[in-house]
Amino acid sequence: SQQGEEDPQALSIQEGENATMNCSYKTSINNLQWYRQNSGRGLVHLILIRSNEREKHSGRLRVTLDTSKKSSSLLITASRAADTASYFCATPLDSNYQLIWGAGTKLIIKP
Amino acid sequence: NAGVTQTPKFRVLKTGQSMTLLCAQDMNHEYMYWYRQDPGMGLRLIHYSVGEGTTAKGEVPDGYNVSRLKKQNFLLGLESAAPSQTSVYFCASRGITYEQYFGPGTRLTVT
């Protein structure tokens, strides 16, 4: 079963534009994480936001969390070709040992 | 500091054959995970371990076995491979923080 679901499934934008992708989840959480996966590679952790945080920044990344709507968004500002990748949100299942993953948003940055 | 490594990187099996995938981490992490990723989907947890000598089932454990005899290694076994097990397999580890660190993946094809 999938806890997090990303939207849109795919996004294609011009280099320099901002990219926004969304994640919805079903149950109460204490944190939500975003990961990036370059084609054919392992996932890389980008950012974690806790349930008592509403917004968090890391470089060109901005993550928001709305626990009342059970949703999160990832904004990448001033996109670059190197940002072309799939982006996944993940939320913990019960004891925090396990993460439940969405299907991801495939982001393509056009030069 | 290699992080998480996986061997082999690629493998082709015939239906009914067996194999073992090896995951090794050098970060002294307690938690280790095996996932599979199928096209257009997120990660699905096969098995995980919360410490040396422990294993637990994830979302899709059927057809797989695991062992964690040493803290740094987590082995995934396929006793009798089936075409439905064609996938990309990722190993991950986690320390005291929530973020998971991933290996580069093993691409398995079962014919």
Kindly report the nearest CA distance between residue B62 and chain A, in angstroms.
15
Residue B7 three-state SS = strand
pLDDT at A59: 97
pLDDT, tens digit, for every residue of B94-110? 998 889 999 999 999 99
Residue A81: C-alpha distances to residues A42, A78, A84, B51 (Å)? 19, 10, 6, 40
Using a CB-CB cut-off of 8 Å, the residues of chain A touching B59 are 1
The answer to whether residue B73 neighbours chain A at the CB level (below 8 Å) is no
Average pLDDT across chain A, whole number: 92
A98 and B45 within 8 Å at the Cβ level: the answer is yes
Residue B21: C-alpha distances to residues A43, A53, B14 (Å)? 18, 39, 16
- Find the Cα–Cα–Cα–Cα dihedral B45, B97, A8, A19, rounded to 10°: -150
Report the distance separating Cα B3 and Cα B28, nearest Å. Answer: 10
